[in-house]
Structure 1
Amino acid sequence: MDVTLHLAQDPDADALLGRSPLALLVGMLLDQQIPMEWAFNGPATIARRMGTDGLDAHEIVAFEPETFARLLADKPAVHRYPGSMAKRIQQLCQYLVEHYDGDAEAIWRDVDSGQELLNRLEELPGFGKQKAQIFLALLGKQLGVRPKGWREAAGPYGEPKSFRSVADITGPESLAKVRAHKQEMKAAAKAARAAKSSGR
């Protein structure tokens, strides 16, 4: 795997995401309750603090949990909730070691269909359906991983130029479009909640 990504908006962090399937998975796992760039910078920060130029599932699993949590909590913290995210990352890596011998790319290397890939992604610790669909769309749109039916399996995130998620971010302009879409979704959800409460 060697692709050019622009998710972290930082050359070194994006270079790691482009060459390391595990780093990309970890970035996707971190992408909740914090800005996208912060999340996808996380893998490079973790690797740097581990003293390596990449991430290895076996090495991460071998860390004593409290030590790994401190590694994420050091300032600047990798996530708003470094303790819980450290636990999730180790759970993800443990799953990869047990099911894929630590090889994250094996998740999508030999899949026959988009639905099969979605099922595999949904089985990952920390990946619900939405996160799995977004990651599937990212694989299809930017990494060329396009098993039969991948767009359908990715749902709305698989639509061309939908600018709904990280799957469509290829630079600052598309990042702004995705951010605007997320703001619109939040505003709509807030309005719906307000309407529901006022109707009681």
Structure 2
Amino acid sequence: MDVTLHLAQEPAADELLGRSPLAALVGMLLDQQVPMEWAFAGPHTIAVRLGADDLDAQEIAAYDPEAFAALLATKPAVHRYPGSMAKRIQQLCQYLVEHYEGDPTAIWQDAATGDELLKRLNDLPGFGKQKAQIFLALLGKQLGVRPKGWREAAGDYGAPKAYRSVADITGPESLRKVRAHKQELKAAAKASSTKTTKAMKTTKATKATKK
């Protein structure tokens, strides 16, 4: 795994993501409740603060929890919630040490099918189905990991040129398309929520009138 990714939109951070499976996993883990670029720049920031040129699962798993949380919280913070994310990163690394001898590539190296790989990713601490599917799509689309049925296992995220997630981002233009798609989803969710709220108020008003 040594390719060029464009998720952090910072050359040094993206270079690390492209050559380090653990950095890519940690970036995916951080990718929630903060802008994508902030999340995927996080692994490089952590590596620099550890005085290393890569992340090491064994080292992070054994790191003093309070010291690791402080390392993430140092301004500029690695995440909006550095304390909880520090805990999740350590849990992820501890899981990798326990189940894969600290080697993230062992998750997908011998996975025979997309479904098998999806299950392994879904079993990772901090990875729900959606996050697992997005990372599976990233592996297949940009990192050359393509077990049989990987697109189907990745769901909508596996579709070619879907522009639904980080798996489709290869530069500024695709980033804009993915952002536009996410904004559409948020707008639709907000409209649905507003409609539901209005319906509930109408139902309450009707019941009150009947009383």
Band the TM-score falls in, shorter-chain normalisation: over 0.9
Give a deviation string over 1:94-121, Cα, whole Å, max 9, x none: 0000000000011011110000000000
Instruction: Mark the structure with the bigger radius of gyration.
Output: 2
TM-score, scaled relative to structure 1: 0.99
TM-aligned CA deviation for residue 144 of structure 1: 1.1
Distance 1:152 1:61 in 2: 33
Alignment of 1:1-200 (within 5 A): 1-200=1-200
TM-aligned CA deviation for residue 146 of structure 1: 0.7
Distance 1:78 1:108 in 2: 27
Distance 1:135 1:107 in 2: 12
Distance 1:136 1:120 in 2: 10
TM-score, scaled relative to structure 2: 0.94
Q: Which amino acid aligns with 2:120?
A: R
TM-aligned CA deviation for residue 79 of structure 1: 0.1
Identity between Structure 1 and Structure 2 (%): 78
Aligned length: 200
Give a deviation string over 1:33-79, Cα, whole Å, max 9, x none: 00000000000000000000000000001111000000000000000
Q: Which amino acid aligns with 2:5?
A: L
Other structure's SS at 1:86 match: helix
Distance 1:172 1:66 in 2: 37
Other structure's SS at 2:121 match: helix
Distance 2:126 2:61 in 1: 16
TM-aligned CA deviation for residue 5 of structure 1: 0.6
Distance 1:70 1:124 in 2: 24
Please give the root-mean-square deviation of Cα atoms over the aligned residues, in Å: 0.4
| Residue segments in structure 1 that go unaligned for 5+ positions in a row | none
Other structure's SS at 1:96 match: helix
Give a deviation string over 1:15-34, Cα, whole Å, max 9, x none: 10011000000000000000
Give a deviation string over 1:114-154, Cα, whole Å, max 9, x none: 00000000000000000000000000000111111000000
Runs of 4+ in 1 over 3 A off after TM superposition: none
